[in-house]
Structure 1
């Protein structure tokens, strides 16, 4: 069971005092979460203004800095439309990436997702299929992408734990009926982050936590930083790991 540190997500700069945005902040934070026990990091690259960006001139120097800071640690990058709202421009940007991440997440409910997934696969980047709905799981099955992606990210967006778990169960059922046996990660956001992490650990799934998903610890208090979230997750799931 691996644990992925999701460092910043689409949160606005200043949403949390320790939210990493600049390249220096991201590389420092990446080193800290790996030292705290994270197996992999997931990032949303930011431009000089702090806005999400998939521009090659943003990604390339950031990737080089991260490789130097955490050699050998897998790095995952978003391709969400929050980072580039135009699906066609997103495709062009990814096509021009020079320094490639190890993996990239692709939200299959978003327009242009199948095309961007196939482009990444052609470029030898591992694709993690983001499944927020049962329909996105059906897309994974119907397009044949399941044969080439490396993992399924079951990521319900419902605000209550009960509804999020129910949606996750329905997504899992679609994957099961399609005989898709990819590694599955389960994660929530904000109020559902810790309950879904507990459910993932109990099921022996890969785990994910970080300021992208929650800014609070299991006790409900604001955490100091991403490393504190990783440490709390490892302590909480120790019997399951």
Structure 2
């Protein structure tokens, strides 16, 4: 499975094609799916362009995307920094009426167990975001861990050897705990394409898009999300 991460917290200083509005997200989603993406990960924005978990903002983005690419699973971030930030963001999630298919929850965040429980209680899938071995060790002890949709191995290290070591350590923790959840592995900026190749070699799912980086495997700046997804599809064929 190839997931397209369309915007994250990126601004147009990072890339002029970063989508903000619901209409922009929907247009980019259609292009990414046409290029080969099978799932979408988005960060809805408020009218000011800031990341948002407000029920109106999330609903507008989800409905616009579903209109353009019906049946394509849509995931949202629940990152700690998204306004109103910290544990206060749980109140906005509780008020969601138009629901995504899944969300990502980072185990590095102090309220991760509570957010996972809240999300599962609403019938939404959970991607458990593991950035480190300690995240993995925390995750496997949670009562709700085996109810999650998948494990999301997120490699933020920019040194490739360090990133591969972190990924291997996380995988080892999951193996010792006899976890059988699907795994999606991805990198960030310098590690995007090395981690994509590693995911393909291991038979894992992966993701690419402007949230994670703006370059193609060649090092050339991508035209946008569909360009990145298309490059990933071509690269995946080698595996």
**Under a length normalisation based on structure 2, what TM-score does the superposition of the two structures give?**
0.97
2-structure distance, mates of 1:58, 1:15: 23
Report the Cα distance in structure 1 between the residues aligned to 2:9 and 2:17, rounded to whole angstroms: 14
| Pairing of 1:49-198 with structure 2 (within 5 A) | 49-84=48-83, 86-198=85-197
1:155-176 CA-to-partner distances (Å, cap 9, x unmatched) read 1211111100100111111111
- Partner Cα distance (1:73, 1:189) in 2: 24
Is the contact made by 2:150 and 2:184 (CA closer than 8 Å) also made in structure 1? yes
Q: Check the 8 A contact 2:59/2:98 in 1, yes or no.
A: yes
Aligned counterparts of 2:143 and 2:168: Cα–Cα separation in 1: 22
- Equivalents in 1 of 2:221, 2:39: separation in Å? 23
**DSSP 3-state at the match of 1:41:** strand
* Unaligned segments of structure 1, at least 5 residues: none
Structure 1 range deviating more: 79-88 or 27-36:
79-88
Distance in 2 (alpha carbons) for counterparts of 1:195 and 1:138: 24
Deviation at 1:135, TM superposition (A): 1.3
| 1:143 alignment partner, SS class | coil
Whole-angstrom CA distance in 1 between matches of 2:103 and 2:171: 21
Task: Name the structure 1 match of 2:208.
Answer: 209
Deviation for aligned residue 1:231: 0.4
Q: Is residue 132–residue 155 contact of structure 1 (8 Å, CA) maintained in 2?
A: yes
Residue by residue, what CA displacement relative to the aligned partner does 1:145-198 show, whole Å, maximum 9, x if unpaired?
Answer: 222101001112111111001001111111111111111111100000001000
Q: Which segment drifts farther, 41-50 or 13-22?
A: 13-22
The CA RMSD measured in Å over matched residues stands at: 1.0
Alpha-carbon distance between aligned partners in 2 of 1:14 and 1:21, rounded to the nearest angstrom: 13
- The aligned length equals 239
Unpaired runs of 5+ residues, structure 2, are none
Question: For residue 9 of structure 2, what is the aligned residue in structure 1?
Answer: 10
Task: Give the whole-Å Cα distance in 2 for the aligned partners of 1:144 and 1:161.
Answer: 33
Q: 8 Å contact 1:13–1:21 — kept in the other structure?
A: no
Instruction: Encode CA deviations 1:25-47: one digit per residue, 9 max, x unaligned.
Output: 10000000001110000001111
TM-score by length of 1: 0.97
| Structure 1 moving runs of 4+ over 3 Å | none
Contact 2:20–2:45 (CA under 8 A) maintained in structure 1: yes
Mapped contact 2:155–2:191 kept (Cα < 8 A): no
Q: Is the 8 A contact 1:146 1:182 kept in 2?
A: no
Give 1:15 shift: 1.9
- State the 1:85 CA deviation: 5.7
